[in-house]
Every structure is written in structure tokens, then in C-alpha cells.
Amino acid sequence: MSHRDVKEATDRLLIELEKAIVGKRDVLELIVTAMLADGHILLEDVPGVAKTAIARALAEAAGLRFSRVQFTPDLIPADITGATVLTGPNAESEFRAGPVFANLVLGDEINRAPPKTQSALLEAMEERQVTTDATTRKLPVPFLVIGTQNPIEQEGTYPLPEAQLDRFLIRTGVGYPGPEYEMELILRRASRDGDRVVLSPVMSRVDVVALQRRVEEVHISRPVAKYVVDLVEATRNSPRTEAGASPRGSLALLKAGRARAAMTGRSFVVPDDIKAVAVPCLGHRLLLQPDQWVRGVRTEQVIQEILNQVPAPAATDPGDELARQAPQQHQAPPHAPQHQAPPQVQTPSAHQTGGADNGWSPTQPAPAPGMAQRSAAPPPAAPGQPG
């Protein structure tokens, strides 16, 4: 699979998604970017702008197993992760998997559950596993969480802790459609027999995993990597912020920038890729100074100011083979112990990833993502040439 194949696959996916979601191409592109980057998404907007519909449409079009959790104040962690119950005449213990054992999990109104319940997702989002009764079970591959919350209704809600916010790769809104798109939305509904639009899968779970692995091979040069570091460092030094983005924010820019490059058919990241994902990747990772918050300053404004201030490198500078050769160039110091390289991992089959066989059971450990160990990469594509 080439990077041009990634572009063709994502174009088909976006076309299918637009059959259900009208006039939101930019939002859909950002969500597909997060999926290719193997990251989670937080949709924050008012009710009725298709947040839930987007999650369901993505699952249908990408061939992903879907589950939905309606977060409420009385929800407990076991309602999400599952629990061990006694069954049968001999009262044998059996693990009943919760809705988190799916490829795409929608946490609807995620801020309505107390922090104890919200924390049930932390291990799942970061480690791709769930631990209950001292037993760790791997989650299906791929695994994506889409959380939604309503920013204008705060009564009876529990703000997401910073540790959980930081685990979302991107945060974005949806917004109202323009008048012409809203008219098209009404006319489409008038021509159907029901509210729901049924989409056809244009790829499978195995295809999604293959696309994610191809994204991991996208090259990032040293100048562009330094640009990422400069942007994140600027969030820490800004007089408007009390705390800037952590190194996880730098990695988020790397992952999302690679995915966006692959979606355009390129095998290397350019500064415009980083600029395009900077606000959704970093906006929820900043803490503003109290006086800035009182004045109504938003973190998105701070990120935009930083983008205008930090100089970007030339888009035509190929840099060096930082992404793949840096681990080989840096040798361990003499006093440091030598670590044996991890063994080669074979690409999982459709049965292993659950792409063509639904026989996987959450009572058995699911296969790990199996990211293949890559050898030294070929030289990066010359500027302006496709990957």
C-alpha cells in the first residue's frame, strides 16, 4: 500500500460519510485524521449538530464494531468495562464484557458521569486494555473513543480532569451548517422514509489497521520536528498560560501531522500539516492564567497567536531521516546496559484483528496491535514528488 492508496481510501470514506453528514467536510477530515493517527476524539458542541451521528456514520462506513455509552450521574465503572458475575447451577464466575470492548466507543455526554466513572476510560484510552479482578484483557484492534459534551449546559456535569483531556488526540466542535447545507439536509430527509441514513462500509477493520501502519511510515524531517517542539515550547512560555502542552502534545502533533500528510498522498510532513492540526491537538492541553479566563480568552486564540509568531521552516526542506534512522544513529553510552531489539512482528491476519471474523471473545486476551518493527527507511521523497 502506497501513500497514494491512503489518499484514495480516505477519499472514498469521506464521500460515504458525506451521505449522512452534510456540509461538514472539514470536521470529517479532522476526525478521519484522528482515526488514522490511532487517536481519540472529543466533540464539544451544542445539542443537535450531529455529534452522535458522526460517530455512528464513521463506524458504519469504516466497518468498525460500534458501541454507545450514555453517561449519566449514576453510571459506575463496571457499566463501561464489564464485570465478573456468577452464572450456572455451580455459580461459576464469568466475565461479562462491557461496551468498551468495541472498535469505536461513543461516550455520549461524557461529562455527566462522576470522575470515578470517567476514570474507567483512562486505562482503555492509553493502554488499549482493561483490568478487572486482577485480570488484564486487551481491547479489540483498532480502538477509538469519541467523547461528546455540551459546553453550554453545566448543571449536573463534572468537568473532565486534565489527565483525561490529555488523552484525547484532538478536540473540536461541529458548528451549525450554512443555510444552503441546512436546506439540503431538509430536502434529503424529506425524500427518505426515516431519520437514519444507512451507510455502506467502504473498508474493513483490517483496512483501518493497515492505513494506521502506513501513517507510521510517513517521514518527518528534523526542521519540521523542531518546528513542532518550538510550537509546544511557546505554549509553555506564553504569558497567557499557566501551564502549556506536555510532551504528549508534541507527539499528538507528530501523529496528526503524519496522518494529514498521508491523506493528501504525501510520504513526508510539511509545516502546513502541523499548522492544520495545531489548534485541535493543543487547544485542550493548555491552562490559561486566571485573568485571561476572566477576560474570555480561549485557548484556541492563544494557539493561533503562537502559530503567527513562531517561524515555520521552508516547506521544501527535506531535512534528514529523523523518523527512522535516529534510533540507529544514537548509540547507548558505555555505562548503559545494551537492550536487545524487539523481535519482528508479523502483520495480523483478518482473524487476529477481528476484520473478517467476529468470533473473538473478550474473555480471552485480544491480539495486541502488532505494530511491525521497521527497518531503515529508503531516502525521503524529493520535495514536490509524491510518496
pLDDT confidence band for 193 (50 / 70 / 90): confident
Res. 369: pLDDT tops 60? no
DSSP assignment of 2-32: -HHHHHHHHHHHHHHHTTTS-S-HHHHHHHH
Res. 110: pLDDT tops 50? yes
Per-residue model confidence as pLDDT tens digits over 276-315 = 999 999 999 998 888 887 788 888 999 999 999 999 998 6
**What is the predicted pLDDT for the residue at 176?**
92
How far from the centroid of its chain's Cα atoms is residue 2's Cα? 22
**What is the predicted pLDDT for the residue at 134?**
82
Average pLDDT along the chain: 82
Q: Which residue has the higher pLDDT, 343 or 118?
A: 118
**What is the predicted pLDDT for the residue at 155?**
72
CA distance 280 to 282: 6
CA distance 9 to 360: 26
Per-residue model confidence as pLDDT tens digits over 138-188 = 999 999 999 999 887 777 788 887 878 889 999 999 999 999 999 999 999
The answer to whether the beta carbons of residues 362 and 97 sit under 8 Å apart is yes
With CA atoms as reference, report the closest residue to 66 among 108, 114, 13: 108
CA distance 374 to 349: 18
Res. 337: pLDDT tops 50? no
Per-residue model confidence as pLDDT tens digits over 123-136 = 899 899 998 888 88
Q: Which residue has the higher pLDDT, 353 or 206?
A: 206
Buried b / exposed e along 233-251 (16+ C-beta atoms within 10 A): ebbeebebbeebbeeebbb
Cα 313 to Cα 225, 256, 267, 274: the distances in Å are 10, 18, 18, 11
Res. 113: pLDDT tops 70? yes
Res. 257: pLDDT tops 90? yes
- Structural domain boundaries in the chain: 1-191, 217-329
CA distance 205 to 53: 20
**What is the predicted pLDDT for the residue at 16?**
96
**What is the predicted pLDDT for the residue at 150?**
87
**What is the predicted pLDDT for the residue at 377?**
41
**What is the predicted pLDDT for the residue at 203?**
95
Proportion of the chain above pLDDT 90, given as a percent: 54
Res. 61: pLDDT tops 50? yes
The answer to whether the beta carbons of residues 202 and 40 sit under 8 Å apart is no
The answer to whether the beta carbons of residues 174 and 49 sit under 8 Å apart is yes
**What is the predicted pLDDT for the residue at 344?**
43
Residues in the chain: 387
With CA atoms as reference, report the closest residue to 44 among 191, 164, 172: 172
- Identify the three-state secondary structure at position 112: helix
**What is the predicted pLDDT for the residue at 316?**
56
**What is the predicted pLDDT for the residue at 24?**
93
Q: Which residue has cell 497567536?
A: 305
pLDDT confidence band for 214 (50 / 70 / 90): very high
Task: With 0.75 as the threshold, say if the pTM is over it.
Answer: yes
Let me know if domain 217-329 sits in CATH 1.10.150.20. no
Per-residue model confidence as pLDDT tens digits over 222-237 = 999 999 999 999 999 9
Place domain 1-191 in its CATH homologous superfamily. Answer: P-loop containing nucleotide triphosphate hydrolases (3.40.50.300)
Q: Which residue has the higher pLDDT, 316 or 181?
A: 181
DSSP assignment of 269-335: --HHHHHHHHHHHHGGG-EE-HHHHHTT--HHHHHHHHHHHSPPPPTT-----HHHHHHHHSPPPTT
